[in-house]
Amino acid sequence: AQSVSQHNHHVILSEAASLELGCNYSYGGTVNLFWYVQYPGQHLQLLLKYFSGDPLVKGIKGFEAEFIKSKFSFNLRKPSVQWSDTAEYFCAVNENRDDKIIFGKGTRLHILP
């Protein structure tokens, strides 16, 4: 069964620091990859996605992620975080062979002003 691992459960950074959140998945076939963000009290919103082409994808609010197939990874990055980035971030994977979308356990990001 496919699974998604997010290595950092809780990250605390100061404003302007750089961010990298790890995501690894277990399936070796063709996958679609997503990062979602959940701001406090809200539902999930898409940050970015990858399904083919350039493995470096750019999303909203200055976020980007790199798909490294050999490492089964899809890490999320942002060069300089802001206080408004305080939220929970979820990596998600969909295998191309079916319609399940499996989420990681999430990383709670807290930005100090």
Query: Which residues sit at the interface with other proteins, rule CB under 8 A?
Result: 1, 6, 9, 32, 34, 36, 42-46, 49, 51, 90, 92, 94, 96, 98-106
Shortest separation between residue 109's beta carbon and other proteins, angstroms: 14
Measured from the CB atom, the residue of 32 and 86 that comes closer to other proteins is 32
Pick the closest to residue 8 from 97, 100, 105 (CA basis).
105
**Farthest CA pair distance, the chain:** 44
Measured from the CB atom, the residue of 6 and 24 that comes closer to other proteins is 6
Shortest separation between residue 62's beta carbon and other proteins, angstroms: 18
Measured from the CB atom, the residue of 14 and 96 that comes closer to other proteins is 96
Measured from the CB atom, the residue of 19 and 23 that comes closer to other proteins is 23
Strand pairing report for 102-103 and 87-95:
antiparallel
Shortest separation between residue 51's beta carbon and other proteins, angstroms: 4
